[in-house]
Structure formats: structure tokens, C-alpha cells
Structure 1
Amino acid sequence: MYVEGPAQSWARTIEQKKQVPTEVWQDLNDRGFLRLTAPAGYGGFGLTFTDYLKLLERFAHMHGSMRVIVHVMNSLWRALDSKADDAQRQKFVLPFIQGQHRVTFTLTEPNSGSGADMKTTARRDGDDYVLNGEKWMIIFSDVADYFLLFCRLEGTSGTEGTMALLVPRNAPGLDIEMMPAAMGITGTGHGHLRLRDCRVPVSHRLGSEGDGLEVAFRGFLDPSRTAIGMTCVGAAGRSLQLATQHAIGRTTFGKPLVKRQTIQMWLAEMATDIEAARRLCLHAAECFDNGESITTEAAMAKLFGTEMLQRVTDKALQIHGGIGYFTSSEIERIYRDARMQRFEEGTSEIQKMVIARDVVSTAMQEKAAQTEAAQTEGSER
């Protein structure tokens, strides 16, 4: 099987060379792994989101950089397609799905959060937009052909005037500086983008002026956050597998680790945590497949999944003991890669804000309904 065979070989190569070879991208694309969720009419396999997540759990046993490639490529086409017209679909969406060019999500800024407070601006100048601002920690900046970049019209604030633009890598006025290597996800490049009077054709705008955040959140972040939750399930499952195998094989003081009650309690906690996270992700996926909004469900899946992965990998490393801390150990890499998940597509604190907003909104609606019912009852007396 690919995950246990070629993917393991690629993982060793990535860790040794500290980069993801172009051949990895090509291999994943040739096997069809980067278009699992795209519609069959677009050249994809048309998997339901639920079925895709079940596969993604297995893919998450791979090296973190390979997991990120599979996850992003199977998620980003939705954002591209959500507001694309026919010409844009032919120029951007279909080639992306077929692996002919690479696009990366470009939202985060150094001096603002990831949303309505973004500061990168655009002004209309004939058939172009002129962009000024900065983006950073942008994944795949070293290999992307286009940046799906979110900005706002000059003079607007909040959600007003936000836009989604496909910025070519060679756009005049765009400077890409690669950032230092990250703690984990070895080989995956992140960039600091500076836009100084960067010109982008108006024809590269997805949707209308004002649609930017809808493209970002509805088109990409909700399903992507759910998918991240499931990659945490997969990585945690591999951690549990490695920890259990080590506990069976390791003997101390004349007794296998697996016979010790403390180790058994940890394994039980890890397994329960993983199953709970899996169910949250699959519930969100089923809602998504039914056409329902999953903003809250996605935030729950990501929040619990990422926090769960930290707990599981920490216990797994503790079970391995000192030998697990060395780079020759697979659990060392998984532990290192796991920390990124709590930043990716919004921190845990952001997810809690999303969830709390829904809880409060629901409570206020219920209270309003109760008040209205009481007033109606009183008027009928």
C-alpha cells in the first residue's frame, strides 16, 4: 500500500534533504491523490467529503509535508470554483485540479488577524488592481504559480470591499522572501510576500468586490478545518500504533511496558480521544455533504482534533521514553509536526470564538422566541 511503501521512502528523503522534491508532487498527482474530491466532470474522482475524510485519515500517516499537499490540493479547488466564471474555470480551476499549476491560500498578514481586519489594499486602475500590503507564513510560496490572495478596496473596513484575487507569481510589484525553516513539516516552504504597487488584472478577481471573505471562509476554511481535524485523527492513530508496538516490545525490570497499568490507562485514553475526534469530523462531513453550513461544526472538529493530537503524541512520546526523542524515531517527527496543526487555518482560540458566537446567538434566539411567546400568551388573555 502507498502509505506504508513509497510514502515511507519519500519521508526519509524529505527529512534527509530538508526539502520536498518535485518528484513527490508529481507522484501524488500521477496517482490521482490531489483530485480526489474534485467533480468527475472536472477530471477528479468526485468523492463525497465523508468518503474523502476516511481516506485522508490514512494519508495522515504519511510525512507531514505530504499530508499538507494532499489536504490543501483537495480543499482549495472549492474556493477557486465557488465564484469563478466560465473563463476563469478554464484558465485557473481545471488546470489546478489536473496538476498543471499550483495555487496557494494567501490570507495571513504580519500586522493583523486572518479575516476582516486585513490591511492589504487594492485600488482600481483601468483593467488592473494595484495592490499594496504584506502577507506572511504563506505555505508553498516556493512552488506556487498563483497566490489566491485576499485584500480589500482602499477606504473600506470590516467585511465590506474584501476581494479574492489570483496573483501570478511573476506579477510586477510582488516580492517573495522565503522564511526560515519551520520547527516541523520539514521541507515545506513558507513565504513573506510584499506587494508594492503590484498590478493584477481585474479578470483575476473571483466573484464581485465584497465577496472576498465568502470565498475564503465558505469556499475553503470550513471544509479545510474539518479536514485538518481528520488529519489529526490520522496522525494520532499512527502515534497510538507506534506507542502500542513499542510498549509490547520494550521490557523493563523483567516486564513488558504494555503489562503496566499506567501504560494501559494511557493507551485507553489515547484511543478514546482519537475516536471522539473522528466522530466530530465525520459528523461535520455528513452535514457538509447534505448542503448544510458547517462553520461551527468545522471549528469544533478542528479545535478538538488539534488539541487531541497534542495529548496523544505527548503520551506516545512518553511511552517511547528517551529513544523516542531522537530523530531516528518516527514518533519524534510526528510530535514535531503535530504542533503546526493548532496554528493552521486559525488557532484554537479562533475556533473557540467561532463556537462561542454560535452558542450565544442560539441562546439569544431562544430567549427572543420565549419572550415573543410570553407576550402572545399575555395578549390572548
Structure 2
Amino acid sequence: MMSDTEFTALRTEIAEWVAGPGEEWSQRIESSGAVPQELVDELRGHGWMSLAAPEELGGRGVGFERFLELMEYFSRLHASIRMLVHVNNGIWRALVDYVDDQQREQILIPTVKGDKRIAFTLTEADSGTGADIRTTLRREGDVYYMNGEKHLITFGMTCDYWLLTARLEGTTGHDGTVALLVPNTGLPGVELIDDSQTMGIAGTDHAIMHFHDVPVPVSARVGQEGQGLAVALGGFLLPSRISVAMSCVGLAERAQQLAVEYAQQRVTFGKPLAKRQAIQFLLARNHASILAARSLVLEAGRGYQAGRPDAGALSSAAKMTAVDMLAEVTDNALQVFGGRGYFKRETIERVYRDARAQRFEEGTNEIQSLIVARSVLDGTARYADDVPVA
């Protein structure tokens, strides 16, 4: 367990890197459209790809609430840097309770250390991201034959393994779902399509996959048949949703910082923008919204860490609140810049585009609203540990 002194030193180290080398990397990624391997090596060398995992897996054992504070800093940078740190510090949770000894040693621990990369592979173009998945498996002896498709696979082109969820032919719902660790080694029948031309998050690769009777050994399965969605959803998505919410906070803080700096420098009719009440109101509203969302995100982090029964609803409430806040703050920040902010030479232009991704990452606000509403109506939602909603 990391001591308070050690954590303070770590947070200071990251904050200084974010303000210096991290910003230089951000500019390089945006101009080149690629994440250099040297950056990945640097993040790994600092131990920042291994922050959240327990020490027995090779991680640094940073508690979840404290990890959120570190994500707040990383999220002020280019979205691809945030994505690298976010995914690698969370994917282990999906696997830790289900992998066998060989998978643990050969895949999980190297992933925690940052030596390997796993791409979360659940979403499909013509179905949702849960019990309605359509990618199928046909078992013949010790081999599954996979057919179907996946899309929106972050790091799907460059990963070492896909953590892939499919279902046994003829099954419905959660029954028959299977999780597989499939190596990205040119398996026969896999059509891998680069789909990396996105509005924002330049440099993070994305993939579409089509499967045509792809042979996958049963030994690649994670957990048992019928546990596929438990692997995919149980350990990963809930804390990941909170981490994405904190990424909204960090990026909003960066937008606010840029807007404040510009308002203080820009002079119109002999007066800095910062002296104009209309601009002051925008900045004040931004500040209040950021603080409110940050408090809820940290509360959700504490709820998850404590295993509270309303942790799922808290995580969804935090994400939907933080996403709406980020949209408002980045829009206000761009308004402060006026037409100048619309040009790519300004960092706020990149921040504005990157902010749109969180609107659907780890589930849209429409989905989060359904989760929160269900919790409110079934009585599990709380305003505090001992105060029910109704």
C-alpha cells in the first residue's frame, strides 16, 4: 500500500511531467497523427502504466480514489495519452478473477507492466454492448470457430491480444457468452480493418474486425462458458466509467485554464476580456460546474472502492454529470476565444474535439440514465450511505 508521502511525491511527479514533457508529446501527437513508441516506453519507464494494479500483479497498488486524482492530471493532455494510461490501468480488473495460471503469467502480468497491450473487444455495429451480442462460437473438440464482427476497438490494430466476447451458437442473453484472449498474430479468417480516422483522439488506433470461421483454441477462454459478460462487464466497465468521468474533469480543467489565460491576454477596445462581465460569468459557471462534477466523481470512486450497493448507479450518475459538464465547459471556453479558437493552431480546438469522445465512451448518457433510473426506482440509490432516495 502506497503511503501518503509516496503518493504526494508521485502526484507531484506526474503534475510536473504533464505541464512539461507531456504537453510537448501532446503537440507532437496532434501534428503527426500517431502515438510514438518512445512515448509508450516513457510512460512504462515511469511506472505509470502500472499504477492501479495490485503489487502481486506487478502494479504499484495505488487505490482507486487516488488513481482518479492521477487521471485528472493525465486527462489535461492529449486524449491519446489519457487513453493509454486509462486502459492499461483498468483492463486487468476484467481478467484478474478469471484467468488461469498460464494466462496470468504470460498475458496478465506483462500487460500490467506495460509490456503487452490488450484491446477490449465487445461492441458490435448492429447490436449493443451486452446480452444482445451476435458474434458466435461453434465448438468442435478443443477448438472454437468464431463468426461475426466487432467495431470501435480501441488499440485494436496495435494490441497484442483482443479480449473478445462472443456467444455459443444457439444461446441467448447472458447464457452461453464466452470471453477469449485472442492473439493479434494474423489468425486465419480474421479481417482486420483500420478505422482510425476519427474526429478527435488522433493517434489512438481503432479497428473493425470480421470473423470467418476463425479457429480459436478453447485454452484461450477466460473463465467458463457462460461467464463471458461477467468478465467483460463485471470488473472493467464500472470503474472504467468512473475513470472516464474523471477524464472529463481533467480535460475541462485544461479548457478552463486555456480560456482564463486567453481572457487575461486578449484586449478589445482597450480592455482585457477578463474585465468584461459576460466573460467573467462564463468562467465562473465553468468553475462551479467543474467542482461539482469532480466531487461526484470522487464520491463514485469511494463508493466503488467500498463496494457500496449503489456503486453502479453512482458511476453512471458521475459519468452523465461529468460528460454534460465537459460539453458546457469546452463550449464556453471556445466562446471565450471567439473565432480564433476555431483554428487548429490553438490548443482549445483540439480540446474541443477530444471532448466529444467521452459522450459515448463506456456507454452513452442515455444508457447511464437508464441505469440510474433503475436504481432510483428499486430503492438502491442513495444520497448518502444511510439516506435512501425515497
TM-score band by shorter chain is over 0.9
How far apart are 1:111 and its partner, in Å?
0.8
- Report the equivalent of 2:267: 251
Aligned length: 364
- Report the equivalent of 1:214: 230
Indicate the larger mover: 338-347 or 249-258.
249-258
- Report the equivalent of 2:367: 350
SS in 2 for 1:148: strand
Contiguous gaps of at least 5 residues in structure 1: 365-381
SS in 1 for 2:144: strand
SS in 1 for 2:31: helix
| Shift in CA distance, 329/351, structure 1 to aligned 2, threshold 3 Å | same
The one-letter code sitting in structure 1 at the alignment partner of 2:210 is R
1:22 maps to which of 37, 45, 53? 37
How far apart are 1:291 and its partner, in Å?
2.6
Q: How far, CA to CA, are the matches of 1:188 and 1:272 in structure 2?
A: 31
1:223 maps to which of 232, 239, 242? 239
User: What whole-Å deviation, never above 9, does each CA across 1:302-354 have from its counterpart, x for those lacking one?
Assistant: 11111110100000000011111111111100000000110111111111111
Correspondence 1:4 to 2:19? yes
User: What whole-Å deviation, never above 9, does each CA across 1:210-263 have from its counterpart, x for those lacking one?
Assistant: 111111222110000000000000000011111111111111112111111111
SS in 2 for 1:2: helix
What are the equivalent positions in structure 2 for 1:216-295 lying under 5 Å apart?
A: 216-293=232-309, 294-295=311-312
Q: How far, CA to CA, are the matches of 1:363 and 1:209 in structure 2?
A: 30
> Which of structures 1 and 2 has the bigger CA Rg?
1
- Report the equivalent of 1:372: none
Structure 1 ranges of 4+ moved more than 4 A: none
Q: How far, CA to CA, are the matches of 1:35 and 1:309 in structure 2?
A: 27
Q: How far, CA to CA, are the matches of 2:44 and 2:110 in structure 1?
A: 12
Q: Is the 8 A contact 2:165 2:178 kept in 1?
A: yes
Identity across matched positions, percent: 48
1:309 maps to which of 299, 315, 326? 326
How far apart are 1:180 and its partner, in Å?
4.8
SS in 2 for 1:108: coil
SS in 2 for 1:110: coil
How far apart are 1:118 and its partner, in Å?
0.6
- Report the equivalent of 1:333: 350
Q: Is the 8 A contact 2:296 2:318 kept in 1?
A: yes
The one-letter code sitting in structure 2 at the alignment partner of 1:223 is P
| Shift in CA distance, 177/307, structure 1 to aligned 2, threshold 3 Å | same
The one-letter code sitting in structure 1 at the alignment partner of 2:113 is Q
Q: Is the 8 A contact 2:88 2:114 kept in 1?
A: no
The one-letter code sitting in structure 1 at the alignment partner of 2:63 is T
- Report the equivalent of 1:141: 156
Q: How far, CA to CA, are the matches of 1:6 and 1:142 in structure 2?
A: 26
The one-letter code sitting in structure 1 at the alignment partner of 2:250 is G
- Report the equivalent of 1:81: 96
- Report the equivalent of 1:374: none
What are the equivalent positions in structure 2 for 1:4-83 lying under 5 Å apart?
A: 4-83=19-98
User: What whole-Å deviation, never above 9, does each CA across 1:247-306 have from its counterpart, x for those lacking one?
Assistant: 111111121111111111111111111111111111111112213352111111111111
Q: Is the 8 A contact 2:121 2:165 kept in 1?
A: yes
- Report the equivalent of 2:8: none
Contiguous gaps of at least 5 residues in structure 2: 1-15, 382-390
How far apart are 1:157 and its partner, in Å?
0.8
The one-letter code sitting in structure 2 at the alignment partner of 1:325 is Y
Q: How far, CA to CA, are the matches of 1:292 and 1:345 in structure 2?
A: 20
SS in 1 for 2:180: strand
- Report the equivalent of 1:183: 199
Q: How far, CA to CA, are the matches of 2:291 and 2:101 in structure 1?
A: 42
